[in-house]
């Protein structure tokens, strides 16, 4: 009886082994067939495996993978991204570590984004983000670093001149047209603009718009409708620059009256928003959200910031409105202050205001210098 059971067990093992693929077959497969088969793996799974083999890492950028997982492809455009999106915090008390708040799951991640393998220098400072790319400055090597942390790739962009100082940096990235780096630099009483184009790997120099540097240089430019937009200090008006030819022009739509500060936000598509403080004698009494009507070119009052939320934010700023900056993140309009560790954000779809909770790893005694960024990982954002 025991002998029969043993024989049955051995036969089962032989049947299982006969149905298994010989591992040696993988090494004999044509490379294009192997790439096609591996492209059906879940992207997150393959990212975990890429450190086991150099060839696996190169497969990420093979035609089968790009056509299957790139958001510009027809197959993936209808599906959701396999990655979460984040608020990324840069602060002097987190040297080279960047805490992440997951805006999909609405919680702080236990692990911070570490860019040490990409940027070995401690002098690197995060300046701007766009579509999965991050832009750092590295004074020790007189260069900017454009990096895709997910793809573990980076490019060194040398400063256009030496010595070189800059006041404002904006990274503009698109899926099909590479990226451009807008840098405004002050020369005495005037300013100059330098634009780096990743498609030709070169800088272009243009004249600046001097009024922008007077107060608002912490606020990045806002890319909308093919132009980079800014708001000048009081008396407030909007100006924009064509990144291709460097031509500046003043817009023909006026800002609302009784504005004490104003910041632009673009959804990256067709909508342009305005966050304003409203009051008199430089003191804000309330805050409003506006949207530009594309046909009439006038600002339409969307709604007031709720009174209690507004009081808290204005008390945080304490009339230092130059510390206020805004950005767009996946359907959220984010309003921040350099001196405060929380984000005030507005959900456009629900028309509701919320506070982002303070980062739990932030010490009880914290200093100013909170820089928030929108970080949406994108594997095929090429540097």
154 phi-psi bin (left φ>0, alpha ψ -120 to 50, beta other): beta
Which stretch of 79-93, 279-293, 339-353 has the lowest confidence by average pLDDT? 79-93
Whether 101 has a pLDDT exceeding 50, the answer reads yes
Number of H helices, E strands in the chain: 8, 26
| 193/199 Cα distance (integer angstroms) | 19
Whether 158 has a pLDDT exceeding 90, the answer reads yes
**Predicted pLDDT of residue 269:** 79
Q: Do 148 and 119 meet the contact criterion of CB atoms below 8 Å apart?
A: no
Helix (H, G, I), strand (E, B) or coil at 199: coil
pLDDT level of residue 73 (50, 70, 90 thresholds):
very low
Which stretch of 70-84, 146-160, 243-257 has the lowest confidence by average pLDDT? 70-84
**Predicted pLDDT of residue 4:** 53
**Predicted pLDDT of residue 307:** 95
Query: Does domain 86-375 bear CATH number 2.120.10.80?
Result: yes
**Predicted pLDDT of residue 169:** 93
- Percent of the residues in the chain that have a pLDDT greater than 70, as a whole number: 72
Burial-class residue 150 by CB neighbours within 10 Å (0-12, 13-18, 19+): middle
In the chain, which segments carry CATH 2.120.10.80?
Answer: 86-375
Q: What is the mean pLDDT of the chain?
A: 81
Mean pLDDT, rounded, for 143-147: 93
Whether 45 has a pLDDT exceeding 60, the answer reads yes
Cα 35 → chain centroid? 30
pLDDT level of residue 357 (50, 70, 90 thresholds):
confident
| 282/31 Cα distance (integer angstroms) | 67
> What is the model's pTM?
0.80
Q: Do 71 and 85 meet the contact criterion of CB atoms below 8 Å apart?
A: no
């Amino acid at each position: 009886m025991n002998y029969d059971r043993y024989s049955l067990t051995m036969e089962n093992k032989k049947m299982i082994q006969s149905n298994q693929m010989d591992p040696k077959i993988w090494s004999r497969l044509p490379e294009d067939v192997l790439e096609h088969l591996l492209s059906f793996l879940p992207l997150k799974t393959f990212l975990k495996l890429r450190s086991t083999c150099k060839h696996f890492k190169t497969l990420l950028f093979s035609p089968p993978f790009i056509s299957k997982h790139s958001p510009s492809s027809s197959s993936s455009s209808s599906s959701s991204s396999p990655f979460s999106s984040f608020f990324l915090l840069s602060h002097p008390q987190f040297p080279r570590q960047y805490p992440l708040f997951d805006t999909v799951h609405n919680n702080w991640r236990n692990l911070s984004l570490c860019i040490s393998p990409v940027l070995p220098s401690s002098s690197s400072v995060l300046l701007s983000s766009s579509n999965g790319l991050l832009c750092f400055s590295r004074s020790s090597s007189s260069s900017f670093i454009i990096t895709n942390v997910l793809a573990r790739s980076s490019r060194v962009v040398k400063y256009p001149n030496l010595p070189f100082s800059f006041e404002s940096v904006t990274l503009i990235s698109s899926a099909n047209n590479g990226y451009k780096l807008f840098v405004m630099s002050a020369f005495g009483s005037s300013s100059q603009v330098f634009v780096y184009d990743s498609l030709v790997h070169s800088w272009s120099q243009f004249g600046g718009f001097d009024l922008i540097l007077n107060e608002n240089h912490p606020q990045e430019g806002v890319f909308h409708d093919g132009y980079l937009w800014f708001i000048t200090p009081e008396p407030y008006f909007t100006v924009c620059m064509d990144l291709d030819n460097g031509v500046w022009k003043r817009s023909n739509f006026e800002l609302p009256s009784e504005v004490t500060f104003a910041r632009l936000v673009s959804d990256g598509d067709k909508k342009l928003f305005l966050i304003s403080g409203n009051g008199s004698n430089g003191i804000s009494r309330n805050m409003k959200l506006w949207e530009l009507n594309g046909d009439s070119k006038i600002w339409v009052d969307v709604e007031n910031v709720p009174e209690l939320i507004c009081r808290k934010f204005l008390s945080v700023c304490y009339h230092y409105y130059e510390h206020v900056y805004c950005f767009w993140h996946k359907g959220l309009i984010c309003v921040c202050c350099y001196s405060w560790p929380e984000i005030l954000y507005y959900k456009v779809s629900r028309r509701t205001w919320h506070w982002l909770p303070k980062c739990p790893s932030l010490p009880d005694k914290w200093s100013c210098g909170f820089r928030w960024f929108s970080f949406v990982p994108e594997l095929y954002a090429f540097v």
